[in-house]
A and B are shown apart, each in its own frame.
Chain A
């Protein structure tokens, strides 16, 4: 049976029909100095669904993800995770919510003084202290095998390619079995073959784990492959949101131009 995580009771509860979205962003505004990056964005994602957020560079796509995971605070608006408004939460309280979220950074953000295995084990060491070392190692190897990096256990992040680092970053993001997955440009900087492999990996993981996923990307082909819905940002607003077919039928000039150039 599908389930959602109740922040108040810290328990998984059966998901009801028409239930609360896993992630809901309401009228978010964010500025950096005089530059307004987000001007009232509202989107939502439910369990088992993948939303791709596209747009030109500098339209606030990555900022949106940082606001959802709480690494930045919005100027106004709300971010709700399983119905819980995360605005103003203390760091440790926010940590309880983040345990159910996984984040893949654009450049993977691996800990460069730790091996690949230690990187993936890092969340488990801090949040699954009841696991014996052998269990933890076994779990890490399973995660690395899932992303095709089983041979990299003892390697350092500097010893592997950018695509491999993304895979390891993904394994680390999945370590605590999150219900919500946030991916910041998962295929940025990768060759077409590696991009395709990452897309297939994300699709496979989504089929198996049924997470609520938000993928920020400028790669339309990748978005078409992995997303159920696409949202295009422009000048801090969501210009259009829907399936790829709906986007193709949009009469909006910007959308046509965006799809044409991608």
Chain B
């Protein structure tokens, strides 16, 4: 199978490695091979997804491994996600204050910050941060296990690797992403309020009350729970890339990189679809 998105040798000085120049030449000479590769990749991903789904719905389920992964994906990602959420909150606060002041609409500041964080930036930033941390980690871990025959050893021990390794990680990502998004949103709102308060005092109570004034659950919950789909994408792509790795240490590196790159890309594309879905069915 064609390996899409080979890791660039960033920062390398000197001639382009032969492998990359050969790949570029082959794509130029036979562009249809790229299309073939895309179909093969998605086809293999579909088959992999089917195996994982079958394994997940048949027992015995690996509860201990799932709990371990919930901690790894959720608890261990929380500080990073909270920090990213806070940073986004500050950025939105600063930009919103500047823009709204120009148009004489400072009273809309709380609403602008709340809606921007919860509906738009909080979910996507959480998804991308978790994709970078968790996606790379899962991709590298499973790839390392693959090249050292540990996954084969699991299968030879009559244990379903799709159930033990993939289903638990994917389910952990699906469950944790909405919770992490809530954490990012909370930190974003608090940091946004704090950034505003440093310049122009504003009570937290007034900020929250104004920001959520007139809001319904439909305004915020679908955007938060759509991140479960992000989790599915992150977990699925990372597990798929990791468990099909070949090529030793270089293969492990490619798996980690591809998990992040492809996961991020699919996540952003999925957001386009999900936003339209939410606008149609929830507004």
Contacts and interface: CB of A to CB of B under 8 A. Distances in A.
A94 B161 CA distance: 13
A39 to B, nearest CB: 24
Interface in A91-138: 91-92, 94-99, 101, 103, 105, 107, 109-112, 122-123, 126-127, 129
A176 B158 CA distance: 10
A71 B148 contact: no
Interface in A143-158: none
Interface in B136-165: 145, 148-150, 152-153, 155-160, 162
Interface residues of B, number: 17
A189 to B, nearest CB: 15
Contacts of A140: none
Contacts of A123: 157-159
B158 A109 contact: no
A105 B152 contact: yes
Given A105-B149, A107-B149, A112-B150, A91 B162 contact: yes
A107 B149 CA distance: 8
Contact of B160 (A91, A103, A129, A172): A91
Contacts of B157: 98, 122-123, 126, 172, 176
B98 to A, nearest CB: 49
Contact of A126 (B153, B156, B159, B162): B159
A79 to B, nearest CB: 14
A69 interface: yes
A91 B154 CA distance: 12
Interface in A3-43: none
Contacts, number: 58
A98 B160 CA distance: 11
Interface in B180-235: none
B148 A107 contact: yes
A99 B150 contact: no
A97 B152 CA distance: 15
Contacts of A126: 157-159
B150 A95 contact: no
Contacts of A127: 158
B191 to A, nearest CB: 36
B58 interface: yes
B153 A111 contact: yes
A69 B156 contact: yes
Contact of B158 (A66, A98, A105, A172): A98
A92 B155 CA distance: 10
Contact of B156 (A92, A98, A112): A98
Interface string A59-79: 000000010010100000000
Nearest to A182: B156
A94 B55 CA distance: 14
Contacts of A129: 60
Contacts of B162: 91
B158 A111 contact: no
Contacts of B55: 91
A109 B150 contact: yes
A228 to B, nearest CB: 24
Interface string B51-62: 100010010100
Contacts of B156: 69, 71, 98, 101, 103, 105
B246 to A, nearest CB: 12
A194 B156 CA distance: 26
Contacts of B160: 91-92, 95
Contacts of B159: 95, 122-123, 126
Interface in B72-107: none
B198 to A, nearest CB: 45
Contact of A109 (B58, B60, B153): B153
Given A105-B153, A111-B153, A96 B158 contact: yes
Contacts of B150: 109-112
A103 B58 CA distance: 25
Contacts of A98: 155-158
A109 B155 contact: no
Interface string A155-198: 00000000000000000100010000000000000000000000
A94 B58 CA distance: 15
B158 to A, nearest CB: 4
A129 B152 CA distance: 22
A91 B58 CA distance: 12
A67 to B, nearest CB: 13
Nearest to A106: B149
Top 5 closest pairs, chain A to chain B, by CB = A98-B158, A95-B158, A109-B153, A109-B149, A103-B156
Given A110-B153, A111-B153, A122-B157, 14 more contacts: A66-B152, A71-B152, A71-B156, A91-B155, A91-B162, A92-B58, A107-B148, A107-B149, A109-B148, A111-B150, A112-B148, A126-B158, A129-B60, A176-B157
8 contacts: A69-B156, A91-B55, A103-B156, A105-B153, A123-B158, A123-B159, A172-B153, A176-B158
